[in-house]
Amino acid sequence: MNRREKSLKINESYHKAINILEKTGIRITSQRKILTKLIFQKGNRHLSAEELFHEVKDMKVNISLATIYNTLRNLSNYGLLREIVVDQNKSIYCTNHMPHYHLYIEDEEKIIDIPNQKIDLSNIPEIPACLSLHDIDIIVRIRTLKDKKIN
Amino acid sequence: MNRREKSLKINESYHKAINILEKTGIRITSQRKILTKLIFQKGNRHLSAEELFHEVKDMKVNISLATIYNTLRNLSNYGLLREIVVDQNKSIYCTNHMPHYHLYIEDEEKIIDIPNQKIDLSNIPEIPACLSLHDIDIIVRIRTLKDKKIN
DNA sequence: TTACATGCAAAGCATTTGCAGATAA
DNA sequence: TTATCTGCAAATGCTTTGCATGTAA
């Protein structure tokens, strides 16, 4: 994919997102436009509210943290982002809307996407029948034990 | 398993836990004994700090919330409990130390254990080589979208 | 025009921490 | 005896909320 194709594709993600937002009926405010552009202009990524806030500041634009949180929540609720609660008081949002799961390395606070064919969940029991109404997230957490584990 | 056998088994879990704690070198204080007994006396379970706090109160014993949090953290760090971060500001601790994963139904705040042979993770890439130093948690989250998802 | 959004500051909430007094070993 | 633990209250840190002002449609 060359630069022009890449840029077209990014534009596409952004417009697609705005399109979806328009269909929901919420207002397409300038803040929501700017944030949506920032979030989707870099291809697949994982970002926190704080990171987005800094990116906004770097652009010399002023958008409050509250608005950033609200927008992230909206985008998640409308299925454009996936919220990953990685820790106490810490969510990360993922723009990859292809089916996939997350590998979270706690010590490095790093997230890696896992294409979903790599995990076979066919045998999981007891998922409610109304599955189509639901989202399923899988997080594989890897961490170093803080103290010595004794068995 | 009859009542006597069950009671023996519970006793066993408790003593095993205390044994492990003794080996770590931390002090076996009365609070830690009481909490360890409460946590392990009911077989496999999932419990929050708040729930444990209430159970302590029901026994007319006084143990501060801070101590409960500290103890839960200790037990987790020593591998006796597994902490599951289910949401912002909300952890649940799991006493089942057999390999298993968690199914979390967000809307009901309900956790179900999944025996680990039900998920095939053999193809997950990029887990660091020093795997033996790590714990792996898998949480399958199921939730209803709060607003209508549009695609 | 007006229902909804924004920005700010204050509140919320589970968890952690500082510190003085208590206690296990 | 003394290093560690407990209990209390205050602090933390991310996130949410209340409310006055602003603005998209």
B139: contact with A, CB 8 A cutoff: yes
> Would you state the pLDDT for residue B88?
87
> Would you state the pLDDT for residue A131?
43
Q: Do B119 and A114 touch (CB under 8 A)?
A: no
**Closest C1' nucleotide to B64's CA:** D7
Residues of chain B with C-beta less than 8 angstroms from the C-beta of A128: 105, 142
> Would you state the pLDDT for residue B1?
62
Q: Please indicate, yes or no, whether residues B130 and B64 belong to a single structural domain of this protein.
A: no
Which residue ranges of chain B lie beneath pLDDT 70?
1-10, 117-135, 143-151
Q: Please indicate, yes or no, whether residues B34 and B83 belong to a single structural domain of this protein.
A: yes
CA angle A53, A58, A62 (to 5 degrees): 60
Residues A24, B147 contacting (CB under 8 angstroms): yes
> Would you state the pLDDT for residue B69?
98
Residue of A120, A79, A70 lying closest to A98 (CA atoms): A79
Which of residues 48 through 87 in chain B touch A, CB cutoff 8 A?
Answer: 74, 77-79, 85-87
Walking along chain A (151 residues) 10 residues at a time, the average pLDDT comes out as: 64 90 96 97 92 96 97 93 89 86 81 75 55 64 60 49
> Would you state the pLDDT for residue B55?
97
> Would you state the pLDDT for residue B124?
59
Residues A127, A138 contacting (CB under 8 angstroms): no
Spanning CA of B29 to C1' of C23, the rounded length in angstroms is 8
Domain that holds residue B28: 3-94
Residues A140, A102 contacting (CB under 8 angstroms): yes
Residues of chain A with C-beta less than 8 angstroms from the C-beta of B102: none
Residue B60 lies in a domain: yes
**Closest C1' nucleotide to A50's CA:** D14
Which of residues 9 through 48 in chain B touch A, CB cutoff 8 A?
Answer: 20, 23-24
> Would you state the pLDDT for residue A147?
52
Q: Please indicate, yes or no, whether residues B56 and B32 belong to a single structural domain of this protein.
A: yes
Q: Please indicate, yes or no, whether residues A85 and A120 belong to a single structural domain of this protein.
A: no
Using CA atoms, how far apart are residues A150 and A20, in angstroms rounded to an integer?
Answer: 52
CATH number at residue A60: 1.10.10.10
